[in-house]
Amino acid sequence: MDSITDIDAYHPSIKAVPFTRTATGTAIELLSIAEQQALLKMSRLVTVPKYTKLYTKGSEATYIYNIVKGVAETYHLTPNGNKRVTAFLFPHDLVGLAENGRYVSDAQSLTPLVAFQIPLEGLRDVLVRDPELDFGLLSKLCHELRRSQNHALTVSLNEASARLASFLVWIKDAYADGRSGQDELILPMARHHIADYLGLSTESVSRAFNHLERLGCIARKGLRAISLIDVPALERLAAQSD
Amino acid sequence: MDSITDIDAYHPSIKAVPFTRTATGTAIELLSIAEQQALLKMSRLVTVPKYTKLYTKGSEATYIYNIVKGVAETYHLTPNGNKRVTAFLFPHDLVGLAENGRYVSDAQSLTPLVAFQIPLEGLRDVLVRDPELDFGLLSKLCHELRRSQNHALTVSLNEASARLASFLVWIKDAYADGRSGQDELILPMARHHIADYLGLSTESVSRAFNHLERLGCIARKGLRAISLIDVPALERLAAQSD
DNA sequence: CGCTCTCTTGAAGGTACTCAATACTAGTGG
DNA sequence: CCACTAGTATTGAGTACCTTCAAGAGAGCG
């Protein structure tokens, strides 16, 4: 049932840590069963191969995507061909931010992807009839805004190892990976994606991994498998730096 | 009528560039007259002196603020007493982002401020009755998310002058300053605020101003008065760098 | 099994940071 | 109205870190 082709196993899902106080303080499902079915009915479930574009910056925004499996990124390209990743997107996330009817960035999958393709056309009608859904999206957007502000904080750190430390503790929470042990982590993206997200060169990311490992904060079990040995130390590095 | 004490001159106002296509593509008012009055009725108009805290990170989020005059900032403090500005807020903006019922950052005024203090308590009730208002807030949050992502891009630039160039073209549009000529700009914040926003030292900001002036992109008419002589050159600097 | 992409490691150079000292501004009180 | 003072801004010198360029090692896929 984990197969990517078993279509009926999936349904729209949006999670976020709410604006208001809750019992757990963790991310919760924002869509009621009825809302999931409403979105399901108006959407198309798409499967996307690894490293495939979802849309291009400046093109007409016709869909937003609700990821249910896999990982994606949004990014900007500079005239020099340089790349900056603005966000990593995971299951229960929405992708497709637009401005004045046009996507504000490029977006592509980093792994094979399963997502609901929701036409913006119909979405507006659903929203005016369902204030609860509006509120859910509002919560999700607040969540994304906090994530983005946190990203800006991370990128503004001056030491590469501090940026990487900040990234690792963030992704540990954001990307719970299904069967996650508490400090075992399989990174779903390559070094150069991390570099582009952190505003570093891939070489610096590599050296930063080295540094954190020598400090005893992490251990590498392979290129993508990281275990976070000392999370408090990582948080200290991320906070104290600069 | 420009006096800060002339209370009746003010009303709630939220502006943003919409998600969807519009004629102008510029920021528009998102509140209808009825919505302005609804918010007006439930809010309190507050005036805040320069450099005064609006709220503290981690405290219970009871209000959001709709700025109608002046400038504010949200920021984080590191254990070392280092400061990072996450956002500058202008008239027609909302301040008071929370997570799980608690503010996610500190916020303070940078100039004397006039704002509507909107209790979150009542806001939720208004939102369930008025889907149009939800949609307006949704648009505003998308706007803020784009701003924050742009901020992350700016901060990830490696050259100080590129970061400053990016900041100047951004603030030119975001902070239309009332009586703005097209490329005359009165910065509402001090150098160290800019430094904390850009992730630089104040010294580097100073040298970057020097650099841009020597390049002929800008001219300083005083400490706070800048004229943007060659905006395309500034944009090129911001885009090409790294 | 070999090719390609990815990741790591090394050396040289550039840029921002820190520390420190000097202008300058603005707001206060005489 | 002016002098004083505290905060703000600039300028300079030395250090540390990241970037770039280059080469080599390791994975993954056909």
Burial group, residue B168, by CB count within 10 angstroms (0-12, 13-18, 19+): buried
What gap in Å lies between CA A193 and CA A223, rounded to an integer?
A: 13
Q: Residues A176-185: pLDDT tens digits?
A: 765 555 688 9
What torsion do the CA atoms of A139, B75, A194, A199 make, to the nearest 10 degrees? 130
Burial group, residue A41, by CB count within 10 angstroms (0-12, 13-18, 19+): exposed
Residues facing A226 on adjacent strands: A185, A220
One-letter amino acid identity for B6?
A: D
Q: Where are the beta strands (DSSP E) in chain B?
A: 15-16, 28-29, 44-48, 53-55, 63-69, 72-77, 83-89, 94-95, 98-99, 102-103, 106-109, 113-119, 184-186, 218-220, 225-228
Give the pLDDT confidence score for residue A3 in this predicted structure.
Answer: 44
Q: Between the CA of A68 and the C1' of D27, what is the distance in angstroms?
A: 28
Give the pLDDT confidence score for residue B175 in this predicted structure.
Answer: 85
Average pLDDT over every residue of A146-174: 97
Chain-wide mean pLDDT for chain A?
A: 93
Give the pLDDT confidence score for residue A120 in this predicted structure.
Answer: 97
B193 contacts in A (CB within 8 Å)? Answer: none
B97 contacts in A (CB within 8 Å)? Answer: 142, 145-146, 149
Give the pLDDT confidence score for residue B240 in this predicted structure.
Answer: 80
Q: Could you tell me the domains of chain A?
A: 7-153 (2.60.120.10), 158-240 (1.10.10.10)
Give the pLDDT confidence score for residue A181 in this predicted structure.
Answer: 57
pLDDT over 90 (residue A12): yes
Q: Tally Cβ neighbours within 10 Å of residue B40.
A: 17
In this complex, the nucleotide whose C1' atom is nearest to the CA atom of residue B158 is: C15
What gap in Å lies between CA B140 and CA A70, rounded to an integer?
A: 29
Quickly tell me which residue has 């990982």 as its tokens. Answer: A71
Which pTM was predicted? 0.95
Give the pLDDT confidence score for residue A219 in this predicted structure.
Answer: 96
Phi-psi region of A17 (alpha: psi -120 to 50; beta: other; left: phi over 0): beta
Q: What is the DSSP letter of A4?
A: T
Give the pLDDT confidence score for residue A161 in this predicted structure.
Answer: 98
Task: Identify the segments of chain B with pLDDT beneath 70.
Answer: 1-8, 177-182
Q: Between the CA of B232 and the C1' of C15, what is the distance in angstroms?
A: 24
Contact B127 A131 (CB under 8 A): yes
Suggest the residue from B88, B134, B202 to mutate for an interface test with chain A (most A CBs closer than 10 A): B134
What torsion do the CA atoms of A207, A213, A214, A217 make, to the nearest 10 degrees? 130
Q: Residues A84-124: pLDDT tens digits?
A: 999 999 999 999 999 999 999 999 999 999 999 999 999 99
Q: Residues A48-84: pLDDT tens digits?
A: 999 999 999 999 999 999 999 999 999 999 998 899 9
At A240, the pLDDT band (50, 70, 90 cuts) reads confident
Task: Give how far Cα A165 sits from Cα of A218, B104, B158, B169, Å.
Answer: 9, 20, 19, 32
Contact A104 B138 (CB under 8 A): no
Residues facing B228 on adjacent strands: B218
Give the pLDDT confidence score for residue B8 in this predicted structure.
Answer: 67
At A175, the pLDDT band (50, 70, 90 cuts) reads confident
